[in-house]
Amino acid sequence: MKTHYYLGWFNNSFPDYLGRVLQEEITDRRSLVIISSNPCNDEDDGATERSWLDQAGIVFDESHLINYRVRKQDAQLFIQQASVIFVLGGDTVKQNGFLTEYELTDSIKKSKAIVIGASAGAINMSAKWLCSKNLGYNVETSSVYDGIGLDHFSVLSHFDLENNMALVRSELSLLSEEIDIYASNKDCAVRVKGDKIDVFGDVYLISHSKIQKLVETL
The model's pLDDT over 44-73, given as tens digits with 9 standing for 90+, comes to 889 999 999 999 999 999 999 999 999 999
Measured at the CA of 88, the angle between CA 162 and CA 148, to 5 degrees, comes to: 90
Convert the pLDDT of each residue in 104-143 to its tens digit.
Answer: 999 999 999 999 999 999 999 999 999 999 999 999 999 9
Rounded to the nearest 10 degrees, how much is the dihedral formed by the CA atoms of 128, 144, 168, 206? -30
**The CATH number of 3-213 is which of 3.10.105.10, 3.90.550.10, 3.40.309.10, 3.40.50.880?**
3.40.50.880
Better-scored residue on pLDDT, 217 or 1:
217
Residues in Cβ contact with 138 at an 8 Å cutoff, skipping those fewer than 6 apart: none
Domain extents in the chain? 3-213
Rounded to the nearest 10 degrees, how much is the dihedral formed by the CA atoms of 7, 12, 15, 21? 60
- pLDDT bucket at 218, cuts 50 / 70 / 90: confident
> Model's pTM, two decimal places?
0.96
